[in-house]
Amino acid sequence: MSLEPSLQLDRVIHEKGRLAIMSLLAAAPKLSFTEVRDTLSMTDGNVTTHIRTLQEAGYVSVTNSFEGSRPLTTCALTESGRKAFATYINLLEQIVQRAKP
């Protein structure tokens, strides 16, 4: 017996801030920390916390490097992150479809 779609939603993604970060990263090969922060109008701390959670779940990879002498932090979705995001969207679509008469 399959669970209700709403009960299958990934709790890691199903949080406003993390969902926004996943959405941004799903449409770009990679984004810098600053781009994520500025696009979502989040604080440094918020972005850091959410990205750490996504990283621990294996959904986001973070690369630290330098551009000249400036530190450069970029984030990208991992393969499992893309799969989890696609599954999450499918479940949302199922919830919407089920409500249609």
DSSP string of 13-25?
T-SHHHHHHHHHH
**Which C-beta is closer to other proteins: that of 46 or that of 73?**
73
**Near other proteins by CB under 8 A: residue from 49, 55, 74, 87:** 74
**Near other proteins by CB under 8 A: residue from 24, 42, 53, 61:** 24
**Near other proteins by CB under 8 A: residue from 41, 45, 99, 101:** 99
72 lines the binding site for other proteins (CB under 8 A): yes
Give the number of residues written for the chain: 101
Q: Which residues bind other proteins (CB under 8 A)?
A: 6, 9, 19-20, 23-35, 38-40, 44, 64, 67, 70-74, 89, 92-93, 95-96, 98-100
